[in-house]
């Protein structure tokens, strides 16, 4: 069993426990009672130039504890002040030490769109994301069927949320396109063995039509890396560990933005 299988399995356990506390229909009605979202995440990616999605992440399965001190709200505000276009917030609690509360507080405080970064295995998690204040959710092709992706995209549209559909290879990219993804994220890190191949974005870029937003995820460490992605025609870049390990996150993001 891969780490990704374990993450997805644990997500299903979390959903089952949450449904016991708040049934699906109750949560759905709560989400639908809120003002419909305006697809702010997509709008941020459609601006001229490369957009920066900066991540709040305390730990990861491959690197363990990344940020012993984790003032997530201040980190998010630092990102915003430094010119981030969106904030990605980990809510997976076991391996990433995330929390829905982190997302809720950041979404209430920051004025830029937030992505709920989690392992979406049930529509319940999309309604949760809406209630927590997210503008977008992550859908990972490797743990979902094409039918599920299509259904979850419909749920997102019902709520006015964007969906970052993550792929890692050619077959997953084709699945995402058939399902109707408007934003495709190419993960340069394999979620099966956590190896990083920065060239993955270049290989898959040619498969993604220009009208579909293209985001490169993982392995971006320098302004040079950012410049390469700009030349590839990426619309956005998601940066996590590089920023989380930086003592001065504003300066680190300013340095990376120099490559854009």
CATH of the domain at 52: 3.20.20.70
Among 80, 166, 172, 241, the one annotated catalytic: 166
Pairing status of strand 64-65 against strand 59-60: antiparallel
Q: Residue 29 CA to chain centroid, in angstroms?
A: 25
Task: Tell me whether residue 25 is one of the annotated catalytic residues.
Answer: no
Model confidence at 113, pLDDT cuts 50, 70, 90, reads very high
Number of domains in the chain: 1
Place of tokens 């201040």: 74
Among 42, 80, 123, 217, the one annotated catalytic: 217
Q: What is the DSSP letter of 71?
A: -
Among 88, 187, 188, 200, the one annotated catalytic: 187
> Quick check: helix, strand or coil at residue 220?
coil
Residue 107, token pair as written in the block: 């979404």
Beta strands in 57-181 (DSSP E): 59-60, 64-65, 86-90, 114-117, 136-140, 162-167
Task: Tell me whether residue 187 is one of the annotated catalytic residues.
Answer: yes
The pLDDT value recorded for residue 259 is 57
- Could you report the per-residue pLDDT of 42-84, keeping only the tens digit for each? 999 999 999 999 999 999 988 899 999 999 999 999 999 999 9
Model confidence at 16, pLDDT cuts 50, 70, 90, reads very high
Radius of gyration (C-alpha) of the chain in whole angstroms: 17
Separation between Cα atoms, residue 86 and residue 197, nearest integer Å? 24
Among 42, 51, 57, 188, the one annotated catalytic: 57
Task: Tell me whether residue 128 is one of the annotated catalytic residues.
Answer: no
- Could you report the per-residue pLDDT of 145-192, keeping only the tens digit for each? 999 999 999 999 999 999 999 999 999 999 999 999 999 999 988 767
Task: Tell me whether residue 117 is one of the annotated catalytic residues.
Answer: yes
Among 51, 80, 88, 117, the one annotated catalytic: 117
- Tell me the residue range of the domain where 152 lies: 3-257
Q: What angle do CA 53, 226, 129 make, to 5 degrees?
A: 15
Residue 228, token pair as written in the block: 């390469």
Residue 1, token pair as written in the block: 């069993």
Separation between Cα atoms, residue 141 and residue 165, nearest integer Å? 7
243: number of Cβ within 10 Å: 23
Among 88, 135, 162, 218, the one annotated catalytic: 218
Task: Tell me whether residue 146 is one of the annotated catalytic residues.
Answer: no
Element of type H or E holding 239: strand 236-239
Among 55, 123, 128, 241, the one annotated catalytic: 55
Separation between Cα atoms, residue 72 and residue 89, nearest integer Å? 9
């Amino acid at each position: 069993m891969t780490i990704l299988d374990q993450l997805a399995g644990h997500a299903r356990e979390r959903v089952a426990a949450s449904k016991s506390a708040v049934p699906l229909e109750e949560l759905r009605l709560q989400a639908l009672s809120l003002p419909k979202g305006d697809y702010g995440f997509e709008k941020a990616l459609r601006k001229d130039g490369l957009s920066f999605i900066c991540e709040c992440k305390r730990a990861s399965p491959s690197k363990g504890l990344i940020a012993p001190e984790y003032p997530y709200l201040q980190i998010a505000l630092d990102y915003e002040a430094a010119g981030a276009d969106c904030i990605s917030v980990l809510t997976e609690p076991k391996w990433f030490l995330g929390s829905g509360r982190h997302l809720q507080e950041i979404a209430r405080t920051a004025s830029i769109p937030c992505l709920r970064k989690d392992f979406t295995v049930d529509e319940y998690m999309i309604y949760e994301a809406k209630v927590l204040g997210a503008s977008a959710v992550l859908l990972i092709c490797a743990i979902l069927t094409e039918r599920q992706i299509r259904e979850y995209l419909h749920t997102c549209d019902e709520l006015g949320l964007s969906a970052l559909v993550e792929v890692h290879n050619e077959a997953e990219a084709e699945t995402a396109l058939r399902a109707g993804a408007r934003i495709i994220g190419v993960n340069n890190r394999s979620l099966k063995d956590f190896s990083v191949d920065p060239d993955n974005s270049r290989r898959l870029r040619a498969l993604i039509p220009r009208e579909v937003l293209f985001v490169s995820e993982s392995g971006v460490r320098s302004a040079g890396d950012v410049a390469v992605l700009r030349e590839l025609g990426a619309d956005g870049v998601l940066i996590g560990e590089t920023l989380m390990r930086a003592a001065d996150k504003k300066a680190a993001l300013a340095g990376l933005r120099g490559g854009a």
